[in-house]
Amino acid sequence: MNKIFAANWKMYLNEQESLDFVSKILSNKRLFLSNKVMIFPSHTAICSVKSALQNLSSIQVGMQDCDMEMSGAVTGSNSINSTYVDSCIVGHSERRTIFKEDEKIIKQKLENSLKTVESTILCIGETLEEKKQNETFKILDKQLSILPSALNGKKLIIAYEPVWAIGTGLVASNDYIKEVLSYINNALKSLYSDEILSNINLFYGGSVDENSVESLSTIPLLDGFLIGRASADFKKFENILKKMR
Ligand code: PGA
């Protein structure tokens, strides 16, 4: 199966920079059509990116996060139905640490996203401290404990992103990722029927770039990547896609 590349632009690109990125995509249509790509711009750029990509509907556009509420008095926040998107990320480690989001909050966001958009990315992963304490699987169990019993036909992507690998240049080893993904896969198998499992994908994220992507893509069970910094630099993202052609 072709890998899926999800570009999490975080707060790297403003609206104009996002549009400049999209115009480069449009001049390289063939490369972007031959890969499955999802883009997560900052919230203020979602509408313009979506409309600039209207002739390239194979690229999905999503939100980097959504609010726990569907509407109401929540100054500065955005509900999952604040604009039309194909996908949404919930539980990213930056939300967990910077915004102190716990499992209860992420569970509500996951529910909102699953009932509203076509695909939802749930990020999970242990910190360096937790890894050192041999607590990786315990943490993953806790983070997976919020999964619903059914997906109602929606797609779910579990992105395994060890916190110590995000933005650090440290990529987890293939053996380590393989072991963790098979642990996650077994946990999912104990929760869901084969029919539901066919709507779940497993991603890796954490310092993925043009140098690591080829080797990482040989990991069994891996369906795609959630890429931060390297996805917000057109040349780097283009090189990643070229490597995987
Ligand atoms: P990174 O970020 O590729 O910059 O490490 C990945 C992520 O946070 O999703």
Across the 245 residues of the chain, what is the mean pLDDT of every consecutive 10-residue run?
94 98 96 94 98 94 98 97 97 97 98 98 97 97 97 96 94 96 98 96 97 96 98 98 88
For 114-145, b where at least 16 C-beta lie within 10 A, e where not — what string? bebbebbbbbbbbbeebbeeeebeebbeebbe
Burial class (CB in 10 A: 0-12, 13-18, 19+), 233: middle
Ligand 1 centre and the CA of 199: distance in Å? 24
Q: Which residues lie with the beta carbon below 6 Å from any ligand 1 atom?
A: 8, 161, 166-167, 205-208, 226-230
For tokens 């409309």, what's the residue? 51
Total tally of structural domains belonging to the chain: 1
Ligand 1 centre and the CA of 107: distance in Å? 22
Which ligand 1 atom is at minimum distance from the Cα of 165? 5
Q: State how far the Cα of 74 lies from the Cα of 72, in Å rounded to an integer.
A: 6
pTM: 0.97
In CATH, what number is assigned to the domain containing residue 39? 3.20.20.70
- For a mutational test of ligand 1's pocket, the pick from 161, 213, 240, i.e. the residue with the most ligand atoms closer than 8 A to its C-beta, is 161
Please give the pLDDT value at position 149: 94
Residue 153 · residue 199 · CB < 8 Å: yes
Please give the pLDDT value at position 1: 67
Query: Active-site residue 130, yes or no?
Result: no
- For a mutational test of ligand 1's pocket, the pick from 89, 122, 229, 240, i.e. the residue with the most ligand atoms closer than 8 A to its C-beta, is 229
Which ligand 1 atom is at minimum distance from the Cα of 206? 5
Query: Active-site residue 161, yes or no?
Result: yes
Q: Which residues pair with 159 in a beta bridge?
A: 123, 203
For tokens 């998107």, what's the residue? 85
Q: State how far the Cα of 245 lies from the Cα of 234, in Å rounded to an integer.
A: 16
Domain limits for position 163? 4-243
Please give the pLDDT value at position 112: 98
